[in-house]
Chains A and B, each alone.
Chain A
Amino acid sequence: MPPAVASAGPPAALPDPDPVALREPAHQVCERAIGYWRTHALIGLTISLLIAIPVYLFVPGRPWWLGLLLLGWLLLNTVYAVVMPPLRYRIHRWELSPTAIHTRAGWLNTETRIAPLSRVQTVDSHQGALMRLFSLASLTVTTASAAGPITIAGLDAEEAKQLVATLTAITGASTGDAT
């Protein structure tokens, strides 16, 4: 039987690692993405206005604060449509090395993801109708972990196509079941 764990005293973990810093990923996404994100936000705003204004007008005996609420909400959405796209463009970056992929996304909250290409399982690209209008595409790389899909949104469509080809070539070469 092995010795009792408690009697061994607290075992030492590895010493604290040396400080290193991550640089930001090398590439920005396509500049047209700003327009795309803004259009997307404005479409959402328009649709909700088309619903909210008639409802507001037809509510009988509407209280004074309902108008205030609507106005505040409108203001918030407008600020979102103005402020979010450039911020997002500044944050969204990506980089591919021969062995790994590194992305950063978000605008207020940010998310940095790194995965070794040897663990990549699928490479998908996606282009919605509005994205096609801006000739943009997004690319998603999945690993065997449900927590680990990596998406690069707002890539130039042509660039995305090349990237998919590159990734497929690299990941196709690795073996094992990537778990």
Chain B
Amino acid sequence: MTLDPTQPEPTQPQPAQPAPPSGPAEVGWQRLDPRKLLTDPVKLLGQAAIPLIFVLLGVGSGESAFWLLATPALIGIAVLAGAVPWLTTWYRVTETQLQVRTGLLNKKQSTAPLDRVRSVDLEASLLHRVLGLRKVLIGTGVDTERIELDSVSAARAAELRGLLLTKSTVAGVDSGAPAGEPTAIQDPASPWAADASPAENPGREQELARFDLSWVRFAPFSLTRLVLVAGALGFLSQYYEELPFLNEETVNAAWRWVRGFAVALVITVMLLGALLTWVMIAVVGYLVQWWDLRLTREQGSLHLASGLLTTRAISVEEQRVRGIELTEPVLLRLVKGAELATLATGVGEGGSTSILPPCPREVALEVGSLVLEDPTPLGFALRPHGPKARRRAYLRHQWLTLGLAVGAATVTVLQRVLDDPDALGWLPGWLPWVLVAASAGFGVLVARSAYAHLGHALGPRHLVAGSGELTRVRTVLEREGIIGWVLTQSIFQRRVGLGTLIATTAAGDERVVLRDVPHAWAVALAHEATPGTLTPFLAPASP
């Protein structure tokens, strides 16, 4: 939708018109901020920096005259290349649309109807911030590609965001939103509704959460960043062969040097070092991402701003927020921490947006309640799925044990039959069976945890699902946001009368899964959660 080359433009039939429009029909076209002329060349040079450094290391210092000439040339190219986007990008906001034109040779016009604007995010790298610039990303919810306005002044960006979000809300109300919007079912007796309802004080900003430096103690217990570290190491390992000091001789020398110490000591020191490095990476990463976090509610949208170096400010229409997800990974649970995300429709990849970093559980609960405008769903006692579901949880986690047991039995039999020290003699006969026992024990632990997390509850406005194996996850989905049901029964589940109920939705992961619910409960729950949907298909009440 953002790419619409067929869209007729008022002035396009006149080929004589120069590229930068100036006719009366074209009022309102604006360029990006001229300070973009500074940021783009720096960004270009920055992208080329890592390969350049390695090239320089490889070339050595022998040809310094070449580089004396090449460096100014490179900078010149970067400056010229950086000027092109500024010269060729124009945007304007009309009564009904946001229009952006880009491109020097391949012209492209992106158009977003204002009533389709779902989210407006502001981003600023360190360089942007020094120069007082912002990058504006506009999501329309129809496709994942977002319209990007890189480099408008901070004031203009804030103005633009206000304008786009206000217009989208107004237009959304005008276009006849589907009956039963969440605001219509608020319980007027609840003090929460009176205090927090955006409908009652639309202009006022309400702060929901603010960064607290003490939260940083949770950073090392969240392992999500570990994946990023591993990825970065993988990327850097591409270049290690080009490091001049890494050759067989130095590696061997280092190894001999290490062997000089007691191996146990070396391992201890290495583990400590790894731990320390991890804590440092985690803390720094946490601060860089979440520093100065502020979560606010204003004009029917949620605003999230954070960042130490690069700042980002995300806005999502509250109408689009269909629920929240409280996640407590096992390590974080040890220190009573939790993470919080919203489930929203039309916010691009994933659909769930983290709104709180790892932080104290109470904070996550409180903020979650504020976002939902209802304190109850996060506190519901979940209904467990019963002894059959428990038994399935225990059985399901023993598949690995079964596989290992088959392997171990094969090894034992072969050792007896062959009695040949060359074939399997090197393997101690007890080792496979120890592995089997360990796997069985671990399976029992995971199963116990998984069953403890399993459950569901239905509130007046929300469906709550508990899930997760070692991580405890509680998903709260607005009943309004449920757009269908799937009930699957594997052959094992059919035998014991269980089923997996999936509420499909357009928000977040697009599904909320209740595993191993007794079949009759699942039907009753679906019927209760979305009144009317199942009615035509229900069996007549049996006596």
Given A14-B460, A22-B539, A100-B533, also A147-B523 (CB < 8 A): no
CB nearest neighbor in B for A23:
B539
Closest Cβ neighbor of B176 among chain A residues: A175
- Among B481, B490, B502, B524, point to the contact of A19 (Cβ < 8 A): B524
Q: In the complex, are the beta carbons of B489 and A178 less than 8 A apart?
A: no
| Partner pick for A10 among B196, B379, B540, CB 8 A cutoff | B379
CB atoms of A5 and B528 under 8 A apart = no
Q: Does B439 contact A (CB under 8 A)?
A: no
Residues of B within 8 A of A22 (CB): 523, 534, 537-539
Interface-side segment among B19-27, B299-307, B364-372: B364-372
B532 at the interface (CB under 8 A from A): yes
Residue of A at shortest CB range from B142?
A: A177
- Contact B506–A100 (Cβ < 8 Å): no
Closest to B500 in A: A111
Nearest A residue (CB) for B456: A13
Q: Decide yes or no: A5 and B379 within 8 Å by CB, A100-B536, A147-B510 being known contacts.
A: yes
Q: Select one of A16, A109, A119, A146 contacting B383, CB under 8 A.
A: A16
Interface of A is mostly: loop
Tell me if B271 counts as interface (CB < 8 A to partner A). no
A145 within 8 A of B: yes
B192 at the interface (CB under 8 A from A): yes
Q: What is the CB-to-nearest-CB distance from B147 to chain A, in angstroms, rounded to a whole number?
A: 19
Whether A111 contacts B488 in the complex (CB less than 8 A), given A20-B538, A21-B538, comes out as yes
Task: Tell which of B379, B494, B502 touches A8, judged by Cβ atoms closer than 8 Å.
Answer: B379
CA A115 to CA B502, docked complex, whole Å: 12
CB distance from B487 to the nearest CB of A (A): 4
21 sampled A-B residue pairs with Cβ under 8 A:
A2-B370, A6-B362, A6-B365, A6-B379, A10-B379, A13-B458, A14-B459, A20-B524, A21-B520, A22-B534, A22-B537, A22-B538, A22-B539, A23-B537, A25-B537, A102-B537, A109-B490, A110-B494, A115-B484, A115-B533, A147-B511
Q: Please, what's the 1-or-0 string for A70-84, where 1 marks a CB less than 8 Å from any CB in chain B?
A: 000000000000000
**CB-CB under 8 A for A146 and B369, given A108-B491, A113-B486:** no
CA distance A111 to B376 in the complex (A): 32
Q: Is A144 an interface residue, CB under 8 A from the partner?
A: yes
Indicate if A118 sits at the interface (CB-CB under 8 A): yes
Which positions 305-332 of chain B face chain A at CB distance < 8 Å? 320
What is the minimal beta-carbon distance from A61 to any residue of chain B, in angstroms? 20
Complex CA–CA separation, A97 to B494 (angstroms)? 27
Set of chain B residues within 8 Å of A118, measured between Cβ atoms: 178
On whether the beta carbons of B345 and A144 are closer than 8 Å, the reply is yes
Determine whether B504 belongs to the interface, using a CB cutoff of 8 Å to chain A.
Answer: yes
Separation of A57 and B520 alpha carbons in the complex (Å): 54
- Interface flag for A67 (CB, 8 Å): no
B366 in contact with A5 (CB, 8 Å):
yes
Size of the A side of the interface (Cβ < 8 Å), in residues, is 48
Structural contact, B375 and A11, CB atoms closer than 8 A: yes
Question: Which residues of B have CB within 8 Å of A99?
Answer: 532-533, 536
Contact with B along A1-31 (1 / 0, CB 8 A): 0111110101111101111111101000000
| 8 A Cβ contacts from B484-543 to A | 484-491, 494, 502, 504-507, 509-511, 520-521, 523-528, 530, 532-534, 536-542
The answer to the question of B133 belonging to the interface, with a C-beta cut-off of 8 Å to chain A, is no
Contacts of A2 in B (CB 8 A): 191-192, 195-196, 366, 369-370, 375
Closest to A97 in B: B536
Asked whether any CB of chain B lies closer than 8 Å to the CB of A162, the reply is no
Contact yes or no, A176 B176, CB < 8 A: yes
Please report the C-alpha to C-alpha distance between residue A19 and residue B543 in the assembled complex, in whole angstroms.
Answer: 12
Measured CB to CB, the nearest residue on chain B to A112 is B487
Does B240 sit at the interface, judged by CB under 8 A?
no
B458 contacts across to A, CB distance below 8 A: 13-14, 17
Contact between chains at B485 and A113 (CB < 8 Å): yes
Instruction: Establish whether residues B486 and A143, one from each chain, have CB atoms under 8 Å apart when the complex forms.
Output: no
Shortest beta-carbon distance from A76 to chain B in Å: 16
Task: Kindly state whether residue A116 has any CB partner on chain B within 8 Å.
Answer: yes
Q: B504 touching A143 by the CB < 8 A rule?
A: yes
CB nearest neighbor in A for B505: A145
B216 interface residue per 8 A CB criterion: no
Nearest residue, chain B, Cβ from A18: B524
Is there contact, CB below 8 Å, between A23 and B520? no
B316-353 CB mask vs A (1 if < 8 Å, else 0) is: 00001000000000000000000000000110000000
Q: Are B380 and A11 in contact (CB under 8 A)?
A: yes
Q: Across the two chains, which residue of chain A brings its CB closest to B526?
A: A114
